[in-house]
């Protein structure tokens, strides 16, 4: 006879309510794990989007994401000529706010040269940019659809394609436009003082002569470090490999946010563990008289331990399962990406299982100490 | 009064028990001798702290005496130390318990409360079910076998508790205030049932009670005073 099953069935409403509370807690823990993963994935997405091997940036900076970087547009030709480089392209990055359909969209603009590295790789809907001006490819999270028109700066742009899961480290959706359009946009959106300069012809020229970085794809067997080393010897320029760039992003750009969420996740897990332990301990304490009776009528310890451990694990499994289902149902409604890997869910399941066993251990300890005489009343 | 078989089911010789040491020492039992035979229904009486519950717990192998000898169902179980390593198994096989507030497990129905004890003793689920229904019918509460304890009346719950106490066919049934939670009519019915059980199952029933209305239902009354045992009604040990 399974006593745990009978007890749960007898107190089903209470058990379901407790499981529901626990599952909400589990859902929050899973959401935090997903947000943490999403933050890292978003940060790396924008670096991985061009699918390149080498980043050439301004000397003394860790650009173009961690720090600002401006290098001459002619750098691309110099990089392209290096031995081991297949192709190179200039790119610019900037964040703008653009009005659309009665609201303001915050967009991360990437300017790239058509036919060169730096542009969108996997078009989910529509097509890539086919004209030199006023076309864009946007991340689907921006809310833009193929065929939409949106004004960036002074010019209207047509949405010709969509990409997925391409945002910057701040969660702003990426929009790809041509390098020429991006350079114009940079000058248009400059502060008033720069606009005055632009009206004199100086600012616009400066903007069009510089880019944020040059990205390059290398031959498969090329020595990345050697090529990067060659570029570093050039005046005013530095080079980062893809791995360097990802490392910089994780260690500088999203590091604090990542640690903040990581710490909060740790606190949340601790709170969950305490709550689970408290629930199970309380459940056991409420049954002490029944446990004393069981001992008195001759139930062995394994029957009593089974009652507590099975209920505890059932509570954990139900709470974890409901929590997982809940977060899978709502994760797409979060403003920022929530990335849940199967390993995360399994790891949390393992942690919860361990917590349940530990918590039931406290209950078991109390139960085994109960004097059967208490069932008689002294 | 029952005719006694040659050897008592419960035999206690020179049992003492104290709590605390030195100034705090309280002698709960002093050199108690007691013999109870099959078919007997006896009561332990006395004011609070007189040692009656301690004596019941010693017979129930719940509390260890300080010294003496205890034999249950012709088996010496205590001789200045417990002779069995598994006292719970001993209780399961030899002793049935009836409590003041029935102490039925609230999450099991009447039938399962009885069947549990049988399954703990190693009976199969089918056998346990069959035997539990038989016992509930015997105690005229079979029609309530699927009812949860919370839905049973006080008398019904106590009958189920008696069925549970009888499940493994013990020859010693210990009852703690078995009628305290019942009105006098139901208390009478329960006492009649207990006597029927004692006679038909060749068992003895030892009850702790304060219920004067049922004193005449016992074969012998033992009065505990300051840890010493006096016979009030019936012959002494």
The pLDDT tens digits of the residues spanning A59-76 come to 888 878 878 888 888 899
Confidence of residue A199 (pLDDT cuts 50, 70, 90): low
> Is A226 contained in some domain?
no
Q: Does a structural domain hold residue A243?
A: no
- Residue A87: C-alpha distances to residues A54, A59, A116, A232, B93 (Å): 11, 21, 7, 19, 87
Residue to substitute from A14, A288, A298, A368, interface B, most B β-carbons within 10 A: A298
pLDDT digits (tens, 9 = 90+) for A236-274: 889 999 998 888 888 876 778 778 888 888 888 888 888
The position carrying tokens 């510089």 is: A210
The domain segmentation of chain B, as residue ranges, is 36-64+85-233
- Which two tokens mark B234? 């019936």
A14 touches chain B (CB under 8 A): no
Question: Same structural domain for residues A152 and A264?
Answer: no
For the domain with range B36-64+85-233, which CATH number is right: 3.40.190.10, 3.40.50.300, 3.40.50.2300, 3.40.50.10470?
3.40.50.300
CA distance to partner chain B, nearest, from residue A276 (Å) = 22
pLDDT digits (tens, 9 = 90+) for A201-229: 554 455 568 899 999 999 998 898 899 99
Query: In terms of residue numbers, what domain contains A304?
Result: 3-43+256-376
Residues 6+ apart with CB under 8 A from A89: A50, A76, A112, A113, A116, A117, A118, A119, A214, A215, A216
* Top-confidence residue, A171 or A310: A310
The neighbouring-strand residues paired with A239 are A56
Q: Answer yes or no: are the C-beta atoms of A184 and A151 closer than 8 Å.
A: no
Cα-based torsion angle of the residue sequence A286, A292, A298, A302 in order, rounded to the nearest 10 degrees? 50
CB contact under 8 A, A298 and B53: no
CB of B93 within 8 Å of any CB in chain A?
yes
Q: A304 and A194, same structural domain?
A: no
Are A327 and A34 contacting, i.e. CB atoms less than 8 angstroms apart?
yes
CA distance B162 to chain A (A): 12
Q: What is the C-alpha to C-alpha distance for residues B166 and B197, in angstroms, rounded to an integer?
A: 8
pLDDT mean across residues, chain A: 86
CA-CA distance, B95 to B203, in Å (whole number)? 10
Contact state of B120 with A299 under an 8 Å Cβ cutoff: yes
Number of CB pairs, chain A paired with chain B, less than 8 A apart: 78
- Regarding whether A198 and A108 lie in a shared domain, the answer is yes
Phi first, then psi, for residue A176 (nearest 5°) are -95, 130
Q: Does B99 touch chain A (CB under 8 A)?
A: yes
Question: Is the ipTM above a cut-off of 0.90?
Answer: no
Q: Please give the pLDDT value at position B110.
A: 93
CB-based contact, A302 to chain B, within 8 Å: no
pLDDT the model gives residue B112: 93
Closest by CA position to A215, among listed A138, A111, A130: A111
Same domain for A143 and A203, yes or no, is yes
Q: How far is B151 from chain A, CA to nearest CA, in Å?
A: 13
A291 with A369, same domain: the answer is yes
Instruction: Report the pLDDT value the prediction gives residue A192, as an integer from 0 to 100.
Output: 61
Q: Is A376 within 8 Å of B164 when comparing Cβ atoms?
A: no
Shared-domain flag, residues A205 and A270: no
Asked whether the predicted pLDDT for residue A58 surpasses 50, the reply is yes
**Residue among A10, A297, A376 minimizing CB distance to B106:** A10
Q: Is the Cβ pair A297, B164 closer than 8 Å?
A: yes
The number of domains in chain A is: 2
Q: Which residues of B touch A303 (CB under 8 A)?
A: 120
Neighbouring residues of A135: CB distance < 8 A, sequence distance ≥ 6: A129, A157, A158, A160, A177, A178
Chain B interface test: which of A376, A377, A378 (most B C-beta within 10 Å): A376
Out of A171, A205, A221, a domain closes at: A221
> Element (H or E) spanning B72, and its range?
strand B67-72
The residue of chain B nearest to residue A8, with distances taken between CA atoms, is B107
Contact at 8 Å (CB) between B12 and B174?
no
Taking contacts as CB-CB distances below 8 angstroms, the residues of chain A near B117 are: 297-298
Residues of B in contact with A294 (CB under 8 A): 105
Entry pTM: 0.71
A373 close contact with B: CB closer than 8 A: yes
My answer on whether A62 and A38 are in the same domain is no
A79 and A183 fall within a common domain? yes
Express each pLDDT in A182-197 by its tens digit.
988 887 755 565 656 5
User: How does residue A176 score in pLDDT terms, banded at 50, 70 and 90?
Assistant: very high
- Å between B99 CA and nearest CA of chain A: 6
Identify the segments of chain B with pLDDT beneath 50.
1-3, 236-237
What are the percentages of helix, strand and coil residues in chain A, rounded to 5? 55, 20, 25
Are A316 and A297 part of one and the same domain? Answer: yes
pLDDT confidence of A329, banded at 50, 70, 90?
A: very high
By Cβ distance, the residue of B53, B60, B121 closest to A378 is B53
Residues A206 and A77 in one domain: yes
- Is A217 inside any structural domain? yes
State the pLDDT at residue A105.
92
3-class state of residue B88 by DSSP: helix
Same domain? For A194 and A99 the reply is yes
Q: How far is B4 from chain A (nearest CA, A)?
A: 27
Q: 3-state class of A48 per DSSP? A: helix
Q: Are B119 and A289 inside 8 Å of each other by CB?
A: no
pLDDT at A272: 83
Rounded CA-CA distance A23/A30 in Å is 10
Residue of A nearest to B120 (CA): A299
Is A48 part of a structural domain of the chain? no
Q: Cβ distance B16 to B27 under 8 Å?
A: yes
Helix (H, G, I), strand (E, B) or coil at B157: helix
A138 pLDDT higher than 90: yes
Yes or no: say if B181 and B100 are a contact pair by the CB < 8 Å rule. Answer: yes
**Pair A203, A290 in one domain:** no
């Amino acid at each position: 006879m399974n006593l745990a099953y009978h007890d749960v069935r007898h107190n089903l409403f209470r058990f379901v309510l407790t499981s529901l509370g626990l599952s909400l807690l589990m859902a929050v823990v899973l959401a935090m794990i997903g947000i943490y993963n999403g933050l890292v994935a978003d940060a790396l997405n924008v670096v991985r989007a061009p699918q390149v091997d080498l980043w050439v940036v301004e000397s003394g900076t860790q650009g173009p994401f961690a720090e600002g970087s401006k290098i001459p547009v002619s750098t691309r030709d110099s990089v392209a000529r290096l031995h081991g480089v297949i192709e190179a392209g200039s790119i610019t990055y900037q964040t703008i706010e653009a009005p659309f359909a009665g609201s303001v969209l915050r967009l991360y603009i990437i300017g790239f040269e058509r036919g060169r590295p730096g542009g969108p790789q996997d078009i989910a809907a529509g097509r890539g940019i086919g004209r030199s001006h006023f076309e864009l490819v946007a991340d689907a999270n921006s809310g833009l659809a193929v065929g939409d028109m949106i004004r960036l700066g002074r010019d209207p742009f047509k949405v010709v394609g969509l990409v997925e899961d391409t945002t910057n480290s701040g969660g702003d959706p990426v929009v790809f436009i041509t390098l020429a359009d991006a350079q114009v946009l940079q000058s248009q959106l400059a502060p008033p003082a720069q606009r005055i300069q632009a009206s004199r012809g100086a600012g616009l020229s400066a903007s069009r002569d510089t880019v944020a970085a040059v990205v390059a794809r290398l031959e498969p067997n090329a020595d990345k470090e050697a090529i990067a080393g060659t570029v570093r010897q050039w005046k005013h320029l530095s080079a980062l490999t893809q791995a360097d760039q990802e490392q910089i992003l994780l260690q500088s750009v999203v590091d604090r946010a990542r640690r903040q969420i990581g710490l909060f996740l740790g606190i949340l897990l601790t709170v969950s563990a305490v709550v689970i332990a408290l629930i199970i301990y309380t459940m056991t304490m409420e049954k002490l008289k029944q446990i004393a009776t069981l001992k008195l009528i001759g139930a062995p310890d394994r029957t009593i331990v089974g009652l507590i451990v099975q209920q505890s694990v059932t509570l954990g499994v139900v709470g974890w399962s409901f929590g997982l289902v809940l977060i899978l149902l709502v994760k797409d409604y979060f403003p920022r990406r929530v990335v849940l890997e199967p390993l995360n869910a399994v790891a949390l399941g393992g942690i919860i299982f361990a917590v349940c066993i530990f918590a039931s251990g406290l209950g078991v300890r109390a139960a085994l100490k109960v004097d059967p005489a208490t069932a008689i009343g002294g | 009064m029952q005719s006694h078989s040659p050897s008592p089911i419960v035999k206690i010789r020179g049992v003492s028990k104290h709590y605390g040491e030195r100034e705090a020492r309280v002698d709960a039992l002093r050199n108690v001798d007691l013999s109870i035979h099959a078919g007997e229904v006896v009561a332990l009486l006395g004011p609070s702290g007189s040692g009656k519950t301690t004596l019941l717990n010693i017979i129930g192998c719940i509390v260890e005496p300080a010294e003496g000898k205890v034999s249950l169902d012709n088996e010496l179980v205590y001789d200045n130390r417990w002779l069995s390593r598994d006292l719970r198994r001993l209780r399961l096989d030899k002793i049935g318990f009836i409590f003041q507030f029935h102490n039925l497990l609230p999450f099991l129905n009447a039938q399962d409360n009885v069947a549990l004890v049988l399954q703990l003793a190693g009976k199969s689920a089918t056998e346990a079910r069959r035997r539990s229904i038989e016992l509930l019918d015997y105690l005229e509460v079979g029609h309530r076998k699927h009812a949860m304890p919370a839905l049973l009346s006080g008398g019904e719950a106590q009958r189920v508790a008696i069925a549970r106490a009888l499940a493994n066919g013990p020859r010693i049934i210990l009852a703690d205030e078995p009628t305290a939670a019942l009105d006098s009519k139901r208390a009478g019915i329960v006492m009649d049932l207990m006597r029927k059980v004692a006679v038909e199952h060749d068992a003895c029933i030892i009850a702790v009670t304060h219920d004067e209305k049922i004193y005449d239902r016992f074969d012998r009354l033992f009065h505990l005073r300051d840890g010493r045992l006096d016979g009030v009604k019936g012959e002494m040990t």
